[in-house]
Structure formats: structure tokens, C-alpha cells
Amino acid sequence: QVQLVESGGGSVQAGGSLRLSCVASVTSGYPFDPCTMAWFRQPPGKELEVVASVSGDGDKVYGDSMEGRFAVSRDNTRNTLYLEMNSLRPEDTAMYYCAACRVLGTRDTYYFWGQGTQVTVSS
């Protein structure tokens, strides 16, 4: 019903910037507009953590310590979610995942997930 494809990851030096994109391919008729979209990340050896989310109405919520260097945005006309990452640090190294359509009544459970894009920050 919804397929998510992330892009924009790569290797950068500390202090650099990256812009991640997530394009959602939606089956015709699926009610995607109200869906919340989100970015998660999983650093090596650590648990998955939320980076930021954007509701269908454009409300943005950031994970702990994520706001400031990271900025999330969404283009509903393109079904695309973005994550602008600035002043990157080695601890930002992680696989970054896009997710869509949060399960009602949950905080971080989503129906659809992308395959992820790797971000590596070297010191």
C-alpha cells in the first residue's frame, strides 16, 4: 500500500551536512495524506530512536536532543519527507529509516518502513 525509499545518506566529516529524502509510493486510494511520517535512526550496537516526525497537518515533533541541528520537513504534493542535518557529529553515525502512518494510540509504531540509508560521520 505504501512503499518508502530513502536516499541522501553518505559519508561526511564532522561539521558537515546532509539532506535525507524519503519518497512514498502510495497505492491509489490509500488515505495517505493524514499519515504521520517520521525519521528514525539506529546507531551501531544501539537501539532504534526517533529523530523527528511530521503529521499530515504539518505538526513537527523532534526526538530528545534532535532539534537544533536537524530539521524535518514534508512536501505533501510529492509525498516526500526530508531531513536536513547540519553540524554532524561522529555520534550521528547510524542507519536512518523513514516510517509512515503511525499506528493510532502509539507513539513510535508505524505501519510502513523504508530500507534505510546509511550516514557515517568521521572525526
Per-residue pLDDT tens over the stretch 21-58:
999 999 988 888 889 999 999 999 999 999 999 999 99
Cα separation, 7 vs 107, in Å, equals: 25
At 100 the pLDDT is 96
Instruction: Read off the pLDDT of each residue in 100-121 and give the average, rounded to a whole number.
Output: 95
C-alpha cell at 116: 534505510
Report residue 119 as a C-alpha cell.
550516514
Mean pLDDT of 104-122: 95
Exposed, middle or buried by CB within 10 Å (0-12, 13-18, 19+), for 109?
A: exposed
Q: Tell me, what's the pLDDT at 69? A: 94
Sign of CA dihedral 91, 92, 98, 101: positive
